[in-house]
Chains A and B, each alone.
Chain A
Amino acid sequence: MKSLTMLFSVALFFVSASHAEQPNIVYIMADDLGWAELGSYGQEKIQTPHLDRIASEGMRFTQHYTSAPVCAPARYSLMTGKHGGHSYVRSNYEIGDWDSHEGQLPLRNEETTIGELLKVKGYATGAFGKWGLGQPGSEGDPLKQGFDRFYGYNCQRHAHNLFPEYIVDQDKRVPLEGNTATVYGKQYAPQLIADAALAFVDANKDGPFFLYYPTIIPHLALQVPYNELTPYINEWDETPYIGKSYLPHPTPRSAYAAMISFMDKQIGRLLDKLDEHGLADNTVIFFTSDNGTTFLKEQVDYEFFNSVAGLRGLKGEVYEGGIRVPLLVRWPGRVQPGQTSALLSTHYDALATIAEIAGVPVEQNHDGISYLPTLLGKEQPEHDFLFWDFAGYGGQVALRQGDWKAIIPSLKKYPEGKVELYNLAEDPSEETNLADQHTDKADSFTKLMIESRDEPEIERFRFWKYK
């Protein structure tokens, strides 16, 4: 009996040890949330108490970047670990008619995604929110790219309404009664998506699980349940938005703030859920955004909210305001609370980081470096440089090395390009172009950018020069 008890104890130890080696992983990505729209990044008007709690209990990164300043290429690079110069998707690329909801250019079958890597280690994998990497049935279908579970918007265009007529559950369109895809409806998709994400945690509480939660908030249209507006409705002067862009709203400032606070509230529910199941200590939570705040000022008053804290540029631009994004990481007992890191890091590091956390080798060629050492307080290998290759909004490239950053905008219109050079330590708002004073650096950065670019297979993504 004693030996049996000992055997059982030893077995239990190995099961526990094995589980501890494979923590649950939650990667939350907001949609068009700006660099300074969280309290922990200086936001003073929008309340984000649960995300601020994550920041205080974990590490806050101050030099973290998306891979691209719009949705689809940012998501592609996140999933594959490849920067824009090596990625198959280098801008948004819509499939089908605009209102057909047939999705975007599919993620290729030969890519290895974060989901697929984690399946090797037995993770249950679920994606909840906006996919944007291929419609159901295509090779980019999340169910064919390493995810057991999908719930939300497969198509980015579909996600332009938060009271949609249907939602995608696995690979099926499920009608949402009471919704007519106009201003109002009965079923708020971000609520349904959050509920589905929590149900995924319930179903997989014995772990390990990977919860990829690319929420559609705060991307336009401005739509939020009325009761969520209450904290903000009398706070500020409002100019109703009645334009012909997304959807009108009588109080756009309140609506935008309320959407972000709604997102924060759902993340609070997730934290409570992890506590409920005793999973908080064995779960790593990442929070970031896919790109900077939208440039549609009548709908999102980015000056009023100081959304990018004086950085230059917004969504769609490779200036800092379009690409620098929050990154919060909480892992109780492993990541010391209340830390700040200025490590130069990017979304295309996520694959390497998550793979290292899960203990799975990465065979695919990728451009990332795991930032797990930084999280654990160990010596960190660093990028020689970060690179952006974005075929949208006129064709742009950028490279950051240390404090210096080179940008060449509008390359489709001006194919020869004129490089801009900034010292971000002295000029974080990229106001003073130093290219003429540092011609050697401007030339070497330009050469590095060209050497970092593979010619894309998709003709629409081709511009400027390739190695």
Chain B
Amino acid sequence: MDIAGGGISLVPFALFPGATNFAEPLYTGADEIPNHAFLSRSLFRQRLPC
């Protein structure tokens, strides 16, 4: 599938509902942040290797 129209194949963006158009930068704004539970800040704060 080529949503971007520029020859860029789509990866499974159902997992990333905020990023509906892969032709756009993924970092354009906070309103695009997916709402998955695993992205919650509490999970992000878990102890991870430095």
Residues from chain B with a CB closer than 8 A to the CB of A248 are 15-16, 36, 38-39
Residues from chain A with a CB closer than 8 A to the CB of B13 are 250
Question: Nearest chain B CB to A166's CB is how many angstroms away?
Answer: 14
- The CA-CA distance from A383 to B27 in the complex, in Å, is 48
- The CA-CA distance from A393 to B15 in the complex, in Å, is 33
Interface of B is mostly: loop
Do A71 and B15 have beta carbons less than 8 Å apart? Answer: no
Do A244 and B28 have beta carbons less than 8 Å apart? Answer: no
Do A227 and B47 have beta carbons less than 8 Å apart? Answer: no
Do A247 and B44 have beta carbons less than 8 Å apart? Answer: yes
- The CA-CA distance from A44 to B28 in the complex, in Å, is 31
Given A248-B15, A250-B11, answer yes or no on A242-B38 (Cβ-Cβ < 8 Å). Answer: yes
Residue of B8, B11, B13, B15 with most partner-chain A CB within 10 A:
B11
B5: interface (CB < 8 Å): no
- The CA-CA distance from A71 to B48 in the complex, in Å, is 12
Sorting the interface of chain A by its residue count into under 10, 10 to 19, 20 to 34 or 35 or more gives 35 or more
Residues from chain B with a CB closer than 8 A to the CB of A296 are 49
Interface on A for B, CB 8 Å cutoff? 70-72, 92, 94, 98-99, 104, 132, 156-157, 159-161, 163, 178-186, 188, 220, 225-227, 230, 233-234, 238, 240, 242-248, 250-251, 294, 296, 315-316
Chain B residues bordering chain A, tally (CB within 8 A): 33
Do B39 and A185 have beta carbons less than 8 Å apart? Answer: no
Question: A244 is contacted by which of B8, B15, B19, B43 (Cβ under 8 Å)?
Answer: B43
Interface on B for A, CB 8 Å cutoff? 7-9, 11-13, 15-16, 18-19, 22, 24-30, 32-34, 36, 38-39, 41, 43-50
Interface of A is mostly: loop
Question: Nearest chain B CB to A177's CB is how many angstroms away?
Answer: 10
**Known pairs A182-B41, A183-B34, A186-B27. 18 more at Cβ < 8 A?**
A156-B50, A160-B50, A161-B44, A179-B30, A180-B33, A182-B44, A183-B33, A184-B26, A186-B29, A240-B12, A242-B38, A243-B38, A244-B38, A247-B44, A248-B38, A248-B39, A251-B11, A315-B49
Do B33 and A184 have beta carbons less than 8 Å apart? Answer: yes
Do B30 and A178 have beta carbons less than 8 Å apart? Answer: yes
Question: B15 is contacted by which of A160, A227, A233, A242 (Cβ under 8 Å)?
Answer: A242
Given A183-B34, A186-B29, answer yes or no on A250-B16 (Cβ-Cβ < 8 Å). Answer: yes
Question: A163 is contacted by which of B8, B19, B27, B45 (Cβ under 8 Å)?
Answer: B27
- The CA-CA distance from A226 to B22 in the complex, in Å, is 8
Residues from chain B with a CB closer than 8 A to the CB of A240 are 11-12, 15
Given A233-B9, A240-B15, A250-B16, answer yes or no on A98-B33 (Cβ-Cβ < 8 Å). Answer: no
Question: Nearest chain B CB to A120's CB is how many angstroms away?
Answer: 31
Residues from chain B with a CB closer than 8 A to the CB of A160 are 44, 48, 50
Closest 10 CB pairs of A and B: A156-B50, A226-B25, A250-B11, A99-B45, A184-B27, A226-B26, A71-B50, A180-B30, A251-B11, A182-B33
